[in-house]
Structure 1
């Protein structure tokens, strides 16, 4: 995959629409994090947890308010690679950053608390690009653990895509996926899990927006029908623990 804009050919229809789609997601979730942390008075959350953080660089690029700590949870090799790249570039975080090298299939809650996470303090959780890969039971365990670790006033943002398996199996999106040289359908879960319903069941107040609605909000359009199909399936929910 290309790593720089100049590596993308002008006639390559895969990357420009995909970058627009990912840009919508990034902007919405950036705003969610900063809104949660910039709340007035004691409402401003000072504890952020990025689940399956991957190469997420928000600890470095967002204008965090004073006193915020960002915990990045992911597999050790992923975080080691990211730290090597960041160290070479001389990057400095704009907050207190704590890496939590643990697989989400293991005792990640214990590792998170061990990194200094305080379950008694409100938390701003982020699950971006994670739910579509999880079987239903794994997604259920993840949200249940988040609930158990969350104090009153905590928030969470979750990206999910209902019917993702069927979209790649029987639609024009399958040809788009094939163009990446990766069997995306094999990586994604075929479970039609609804985190919205689960969080509501646990007592969280939930709001939801679609990727298509975000495109309208931010003034973007998708000329490529295959990308538009994926965007129309994307869901972003934000919830607050009452």
Structure 2
């Protein structure tokens, strides 16, 4: 699997554009649509959006289809959790390593939303929004910071996120690119937020816990992203990662593999879209 064809002036995180392309192509090729995102093409920029609309099938090779299923499922999982949390009164959403995600455009204006990512990615995203005539809502803040170095509670507190109030954190497509110690630090920092705060994230699973097919898929993906300058830096025993969450005060910890994702989101589809285990797992956890 190679990262998608990209344009000049791309964000430093090419993976962010690869994921955005997956979400956009889903709007065109998959039926029924699991994730409805009317801004999926706006965030690509006009040239790439036009190319994708003209011929989305260049992004439909078998491995790209299974990757697309995983991308839209994890995004849908976050959106489901955010909608549920807001329904219970949560008014703070934090998107760590936001990339080119457009969730912030679907957050009600009475909910504080803070996006955090590296400066170049944030600026590239803001430029694409401006190009598309989309204004950042007044309840949304874009922060430029490095997750490996950012003191989350202080940084978010300075921009309206109160740690004493329940907060939902999204951290998709981020932790594999961070050292294990940084992943542990992020989990500890989120655990300090109010009871009923939640986090949704994906993480790589150590190779010894993967089947031979998964090991092959993981190796192919790892080579592709490393060649693009984004090497994967962390991997976990899923049981130990769940234990880490529990030891840091989280409860209702859930780990979803491809079988669980397919059972939840891709049953009885006429297009046969399915996720395939490729070394990643989705986790959800609630601060107790």
Q: TM-score, normalised by structure 1?
A: 0.80
Residue matched to 1:113: 157
Residue matched to 1:129: 173
Residue matched to 2:248: 202
Gap regions ≥5 residues in structure 2: 6-47
Distance in 1, Cα, partners of 2:259 & 2:229: 22
After superposition, the Cα gap between the structure-2 partners of 1:92 and 1:10, relative to the gap in structure 1 and judged at 3 Å, is closer
Residue matched to 2:99: 54
Residue matched to 2:276: 228
Residue matched to 2:262: 215
Distance in 1, Cα, partners of 2:149 & 2:199: 21
Residue matched to 1:20: 69
Higher alpha-carbon deviation: 165-174 or 195-204:
165-174
Distance in 2, Cα, partners of 1:92 & 1:66: 13
Alpha-carbon distance, 1:10 to partner = 7.9
Aligned residues: 232
Alpha-carbon distance, 1:46 to partner = 0.5
Distance in 2, Cα, partners of 1:46 & 1:166: 38
Alpha-carbon distance, 1:129 to partner = 1.1
Aligned partners of 1:210 and 1:236 also within 8 Å: yes
After TM superposition, list the pairs within 5 Å mapping 1:34-73 onto structure 2: 34-39=83-88, 44-60=89-105, 62=106, 64-73=107-116
After TM superposition, list the pairs within 5 Å mapping 1:76-91 onto structure 2: 76-91=119-134
Q: TM-score, normalised by structure 2?
A: 0.69
Query: Deviation per CA, 1:155-181, whole angstroms, max 9, x where unpaired?
Result: 111211211598699943167538958
SS, match of residue 126 in structure 2 = helix
Distance in 2, Cα, partners of 1:11 & 1:238: 29
Aligned partners of 1:155 and 1:241 also within 8 Å: yes
Q: Are 1:156 and 2:199 matched, yes or no?
A: yes
Gap regions ≥5 residues in structure 1: none
SS, match of residue 172 in structure 1 = helix
Query: Deviation per CA, 1:3-37, whole angstroms, max 9, x where unpaired?
Result: 52515338733423321221222212211111111
Alpha-carbon distance, 1:45 to partner = 0.8
Higher alpha-carbon deviation: 203-212 or 51-60:
203-212
Distance in 2, Cα, partners of 1:125 & 1:92: 23
Q: Are 1:102 and 2:145 matched, yes or no?
A: yes
Distance in 1, Cα, partners of 2:245 & 2:283: 10
SS, match of residue 70 in structure 1 = strand
